[in-house]
Each structure stands twice: as structure tokens, then as C-alpha cells.
């Protein structure tokens, strides 16, 4: 079976027509969370962003101080974000037996907050922290309390003036003097439990994602991409895998993506609108 892209449309029914009656694996990106007030990286109108790389973070204390100062402000906002209609629509489709698995490139945890049960957090979760020395994983909320005690008033001074990125990084310019908390267990370096740019996604996690996509068949399965430009290979590889297997791919994203030529259709519209319509459509 050979698939070819039919181009972009603004009509949500185009996605519904391809996906009707099929078992779905869903791949989501930052564009899904914009309606929750979390900006994306590459959507229309997004400003250029330079997220910290893994090599920069492990280069030493100055980079870690800069990261945690900015994240301390950004987390205070991100933890208040609520799931939007797009998240809730996907959770409803899972409950109805339509969505079998969901792979998210997002780190905000909003799929789980919406009630979605089967979620693979491809890039990790920003609400967890890992020690680079002893590898203990702890809750981000605990670290937030420690950072607040070490840096009283820092969040209040900066929170009104800066924008927050999808990874919780806030554009705080002056971070000198910010005090970083070490691991409470061993005194080691703490890092958010997310995959930084330049860092590899754990192999077992990638294998799990490939297995969920491989379980789809051209006859009754489909891969739905929601809110991702597929600019980075970590998500695009699953679209390529589905296409090679002859499984239909549908993309919902504002603006073109690297996977357009591999898709049956791209709906150029908001995720909340399109996914809401998909969830509301009567099923056989």
C-alpha cells in the first residue's frame, strides 16, 4: 500500500474521514498545550528560543544556576496550567477505545491530568528531578520548596516580566546570586528528569514507542500527530516508521511539518478544535 500526502486543509472533517473506524496511536507536541497557556517552540508567531543543551548544563555550576533560576520562575507558572479541550478529547477517545496509546513529546504532564492512562512521556516529565550522581528521582514540588527557601522573593520579583517556554524555562536575564539546591540524598547535581537538546532519549523508551507504532496495521490502524512540527528526529522517526509500514498518518498542526509528505492529510488548524470534533463524532 502506497500512501501520499494530499496537502493541507483547514477542514477537521478531512482528519475524521481518514481516521474513522481505525485504532489510533497518537503522537503529540507542544502545539497541543498552547491552549493551556504554554507557548510552543516553532508555531506561528513563536519567538526564537535557545533552550539549554545537555552539554551546557553539565559544564558546571554557572550553567546550572542559570537553568534552575529560570526554571524556578517557570515552574511556578507551569504547575498551574490545566488540560485544555484537546487533552480532554484525547482522553475521551482513549476511554472509548479509539486511542490505544499516546506518545507525547511534551513534558508538562497535562495528558495525565486530563485523565489519559496510557501515556509514554518520550522526553520525560518536568514535574520530576533526577540526581546525576545517585540517579534518585524525586518530585519537582519538593525541589521548588527548597529553592524558595534558599531564594526568598525571587519568583515574585521576576514572574510578572518574563515568558515561559514549553520546558518550563522562563526568560529571566539576571540569575547571579541564585542559590542552587544539591541532591538531598547524596549532595550531587540535580537535573530535571527530561531529555535536554543534545541528550539521547533512553533506548528502552524509544523501543516501546516503536512497538506501539508497529502494532498498527494498514487495514485498521492510523498514526495521529497533534501539535508537532516534527522538526526533531525523536518524533519524526515514528511517522517514518508508520509510513514505511503503509499505516495512514494524519497530522493536525498550525503550519507545515517535516512529515507532511508522509501524511494522508495535514489539517492546518488548532488541536482543540480538530480533536474536539473527532471526539464528538458518532462512532459505529
125 pLDDT band (50/70/90 cuts)? very high
**Which is the CATH superfamily of the domain at 8-280?**
TPP-binding domain (3.40.50.1220)
Q: What is the pLDDT of residue 166?
A: 47
As a whole number of angstroms, the distance between CA 75 and CA 97 comes to 33
Closest C-alpha to 123, from 226, 194, 26, 41 = 194
pTM of the model: 0.88
Is 208 tagged catalytic?
A: no
**What is the predicted pLDDT for the residue at 159?**
56
Per-residue pLDDT at 284: 61
As annotated, the binding site includes 29-49, 105-108, 131, 134, 183, 186, 227-229, 253-255, 271
Chain segment 134-181, per-residue pLDDT in tens: 999 999 999 999 999 999 988 776 555 555 544 545 445 567 789 999
In sequence order, the 6+-apart residues with CB closer than 8 A to the CB of 211 are none
Residue 58 has pLDDT above 60, yes or no: yes
**Mean pLDDT confidence for 45-60:** 78
Please tell me the predicted confidence (pLDDT) of residue 79: 83
As beta bridge partners, residue 192 has 129
- Greatest Cα pair distance, the chain, in angstroms, is 61
Question: What pLDDT, on a 0 to 100 scale, did the predictor assign at position 38?
Answer: 86
Q: What is the mean pLDDT of residues 69-84?
A: 86
Q: How many whole angstroms separate alpha carbon 225 and alpha carbon 242? A: 11
Alpha helices in 8-139 (DSSP H): 12-19, 54-57, 61-78, 85-95, 110-113
Return the ∠ at Cα 67 (arms to 195 and 137), rounded to 5°.
Answer: 50
CB-count burial class (<10 Å; 0-12, 13-18, 19+) for 156: exposed
Cell numbers that stand for 78 in this block? 507551569
From the candidates 87, 123, 193, 243, give the one annotated as an active-site residue. Answer: 123
pLDDT reported for residue 173: 55
Give how far Cα 160 sits from Cα of 48, 97, 157, 171, Å.
20, 42, 7, 11
Binding residue positions for Zn(2+): 131, 134, 183, 186
* CA–CA gap between residue 252 and residue 156 (Å, rounded): 37
Q: What is the pLDDT of residues 254-273, one digit of tens each?
A: 999 999 999 999 999 999 99
When mean pLDDT is compared across 38-42, 43-47, 114-118, the lowest value belongs to 43-47
Binding residues for NAD(+): 29-49, 105-108, 227-229, 253-255, 271
In the chain, domain spans: 8-280
Q: In whole numbers, what is the pLDDT of the chain averaged over residues?
A: 89
Distance (Å, whole) CA 54 – CA 212: 28
| 180, 184, 186, 192: CA torsion to nearest 10 | -60
Query: Interhelix angle for 233-244 vs 203-214, to 10°?
Result: 30
Q: Provide the 10 A C-beta neighbour count for residue 203.
A: 8
Q: Which residues contact 4 (CB under 8 A, 6 or more apart)?
A: 261
Cβ–Cβ under 8 Å, residues 151 and 72: yes
Amino acid at each position: 500500500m502506497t500512501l501520499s500526502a494530499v496537502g493541507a486543509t483547514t477542514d477537521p472533517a478531512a482528519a475524521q474521514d481518514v481516521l474513522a473506524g481505525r485504532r489510533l496511536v497518537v503522537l503529540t507536541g507542544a502545539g497541543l498545550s498552547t491552549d493551556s497557556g504554554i507557548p510552543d517552540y516553532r508555531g506561528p508567531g513563536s519567538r526564537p528560543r535557545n533552550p539549554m543543551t545537555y552539554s551546557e548544563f553539565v559544564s558546571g555550576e554557572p550553567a546550572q544556576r542559570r537553568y534552575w533560576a529560570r526554571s524556578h520562575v517557570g515552574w511556578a507558572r507551569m504547575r498551574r496550567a490545566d488540560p485544555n479541550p484537546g487533552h480532554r478529547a484525547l482522553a475521551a477517545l482513549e476511554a472509548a477505545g479509539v486511542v490505544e496509546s499516546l506518545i507525547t513529546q511534551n513534558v508538562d504532564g497535562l495528558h495525565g491530568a486530563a485523565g489519559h492512562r496510557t501515556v509514554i512521556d518520550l522526553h520525560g516529565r518536568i514535574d520530576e528531578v533526577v540526581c546525576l550522581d545517585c540517579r534518585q528521582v524525586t518530585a519537582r514540588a519538593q525541589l521548588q520548596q527548597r529553592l524558595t527557601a534558599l531564594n526568598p522573593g525571587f519568583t515574585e520579583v521576576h514572574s510578572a516580566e518574563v515568558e515561559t517556554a514549553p520546558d518550563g524555562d522562563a526568560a529571566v536575564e539576571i540569575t547571579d546570586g541564585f542559590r542552587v539546591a544539591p541532591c538531598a540524598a547524596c549532595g550531587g547535581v540535580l537535573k530535571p528528569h527530561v531529555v535536554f537538546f543534545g541528550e539521547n532519549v533512553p533506548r528502552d523508551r524509544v523501543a516501546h514507542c516503536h512497538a506501539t507504532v508497529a502494532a498498527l496495521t494498514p487495514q485498521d490502524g492510523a498514526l495521529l500527530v497533534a501539535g508537532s512540527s516534527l522538526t526533531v528526529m525523536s518524533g519524526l522517526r515514528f511517522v517514518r516508521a508508520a509510513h514505511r509500514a503503509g499505516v495512514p498518518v494524519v497530522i493536525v498542526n498550525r503550519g507545515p511539518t517535516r512529515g507532511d509528505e508522509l501524511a494522508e492529510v495535514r489539517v492546518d488548524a488548532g488541536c482543540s478544535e480538530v480533536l474536539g470534533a473527532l471526539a464528538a463524532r458518532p462512532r459505529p
